[in-house]
Chains A and B, each alone.
Chain A
């Protein structure tokens, strides 16, 4: 029965991860630090979007507020290093816990809102946090936090010469978050999240406390998002509000997941693998031409994808596979007809 044991899909994933682990050993990749940068960003944004996918995709609560949690994580790491001059680790831990707590506190009333009211409430929350952090001196205010030059390595979670260290950190983040979601998919909590998405009243009639499920999902999602935020700060060696806690950042979580395929394990990776190179290479290529060309293309692509393929790229994949299967069957049928 297909509900038990290791799926064929899992075997593909393990193979893919093995390839990723060996990637820095390919000299052509490591030699060009820009390619390396793009790969790291793909892993990071795939992880962020997967964290969003827990609450937005699996549990069906479309939040536009995730940059708040991302920012809390980034500020946690940033303040530990810049404000308090220590290692980032305690800050990361505090950021992760705080993000989960904030998520539960602000989501509890928001989950009572429906549809557009919920979406706009999450916009409003991002704006409130964004503006508060901009004027809050303790967290660095409008100037932001610039990292000092310290010794590189895992203790300080910083590297200057090569990006290989960051690459493996991103890979660990990726494995942690994708692994968590893969585990959830096959266990009670994962089924409960999907049940709440598909029909809250039905889920309740089967003994599911939908409020608790949603709050647990957002807490987990926020904590993992904060972890990504901390990595982002360590990678950029800088934290400021527009960069980590803006509406544009919030939209990226949603867009990448929806483009790839919301509520699926592979969706966030597909979305990031397409959008991030597009964003980075167009920016590098057309960045000088009065600006905005990369985002013009980005905007058009979003419109096209959302309108033409709302199931995301995974939807295209399934549609193509279906067509091929059909063609094979049709081909077989013809030869059968042709036989005397």
Chain B
């Protein structure tokens, strides 16, 4: 039983980070109906930002989070200006393939500049610290990352539901033309949404070098898992994506521990298929 709880907690901590990565994607999907295939590569870039700040300037990932968030916000906005803007209103495949091109570009650029080697940041503040509560052990870096994820998701959810800007986002998501007629600059909303979506994954990527090695392929799996979380949660539903993130994290950890490590992703993708075959629009979808 204790082992089960321990494994479950490890999975949920991971799951919250998945949820944060997914929340960014979810926002973009919900408002713009675009799948950003380069989302995982944003995460990878953010990890490199945090890594190099730590390696060259001795900035701890805990502080680099801000820089990584801002950096990916800008990257997202630039992506929107240069690519996504031209794909709005076209079939969904267009944006997906264009961002796939971006993913290939970013991944290989990092490969070319930083080599395919695994880069590990040593001597971070959180390092290998653990926190023991009874018989349950919490790895501190994952715990902090999960809490950070929780806070950021909460802030985004609050922003969408309580601020004027959030209402403008909701209006744009519901009906772009109508929102435009109401005097909302939907072009700017899209730009900022892509930026915020990027910032979410930037923050997640910023903290990760505290406990994960950085390499050009690291983002791909996170990207796929984020797609799965968003689709499983249901079209643009942030609570849905959050719940799906926790579920995916738990299933991944349990399958990895109780079956075999190689089965963890098989279980995750199998879970996705099971959910959408039963509810074709996801858990919270309509």
Contacts and interface: CB of A to CB of B under 8 A. Distances in A.
Contact present between A and B (CB < 8 A): yes
Interface of A: 62, 109, 112-117, 119-121, 123-125, 127-128, 131-132, 134-135, 247, 251, 254-255, 258, 289-293, 295-296, 298-303, 306-308, 310
Given A127-B269, A303-B101, A121 B276 contact: yes
Contacts of A295: 104-105, 107-108
Given A117-B231, A290-B112, A295-B108, A251 B100 contact: yes
A132 B262 CA distance: 8
Contacts of B231: 116-117, 120
Contacts of A299: 101-106, 108
Interface stretch (B86-94, B135-143, B158-166): B86-94
A131 B255 CA distance: 14
B228 A120 contact: yes
Contact of A123 (B98, B102, B108, B227): B227
B209 interface: no
Contacts, number: 124
A124 B112 contact: no
Nearest to B116: A291
A292 B108 contact: yes
Nearest to A262: B93
B281 interface: yes
B198 interface: no
A302 B101 contact: yes
Given A124-B269, A128-B270, A302 B109 contact: no
Contact of A292 (B98, B111, B262, B266): B111
B269 A300 contact: no
Nearest to A114: B280
Most A CB atoms within 10 A — which of B92, B106, B269? Answer: B269
Nearest to B109: A296
Contacts of A114: 280
29 contacts: A112-B277, A116-B231, A117-B276, A117-B282, A119-B35, A119-B92, A120-B35, A124-B270, A125-B273, A127-B224, A131-B262, A131-B266, A251-B100, A254-B97, A258-B93, A298-B101, A299-B106, A299-B108, A300-B101, A300-B105, A301-B101, A302-B100, A302-B104, A303-B83, A306-B98, A307-B87, A307-B94, A310-B90, A310-B91
Contacts of B270: 124, 128
A291 B217 CA distance: 14
Q: Across the A-B interface, give the 10 residue pairs with the lowest CB-CB distance, nearest first.
A: A299-B105, A302-B101, A292-B108, A299-B104, A124-B269, A303-B101, A295-B108, A292-B111, A306-B98, A292-B112
Interface residues of B, number: 47
A303 B102 contact: yes
A117 B93 contact: no
Interface string B265-286: 1100110110011001110000
Given A117-B231, A117-B282, A299-B102, A134 B262 contact: yes
A225 to B, nearest CB: 19
A113 B234 CA distance: 12
Nearest to A298: B104
Nearest to A131: B266
A291 B112 contact: yes
Given A113-B280, A254-B93, A296-B105, 9 more contacts: A116-B33, A120-B35, A124-B270, A134-B262, A247-B224, A289-B112, A292-B108, A296-B108, A303-B83
Contacts of B115: 290
Contacts of A306: 87, 94, 97-98, 101
Nearest to A113: B280
A120 to B, nearest CB: 5
A303 B97 CA distance: 8
A127 B94 contact: no
B96 interface: yes
A113 B279 CA distance: 9
Given A128-B269, A291-B112, A62 B93 contact: yes
Contacts of B272: 120-121, 124
A128 B266 contact: yes
A283 to B, nearest CB: 12
Contacts of B227: 120, 123
B29 interface: yes
Contacts of A291: 108, 111-112, 116
Most B CB atoms within 10 A — which of A131, A132, A255, A292? Answer: A292
A194 to B, nearest CB: 16
B98 A303 contact: yes
Nearest to A56: B93
A135 B112 CA distance: 30
A324 B29 CA distance: 41
Given A109-B277, A113-B280, A255-B97, A307 B83 contact: yes
A163 B259 CA distance: 46
Contacts of A254: 93, 97
Given A134-B262, A292-B109, A115 B92 contact: yes
Contacts of A300: 101, 105
A124 B273 contact: yes
A116 B35 contact: yes
Nearest to A112: B280
A190 B266 CA distance: 36
A299 B281 CA distance: 31
B109 A258 contact: no
B269 A302 contact: no
Given A117-B280, A295-B108, A123 B101 contact: no
B228 A124 contact: yes
A289 B116 CA distance: 13
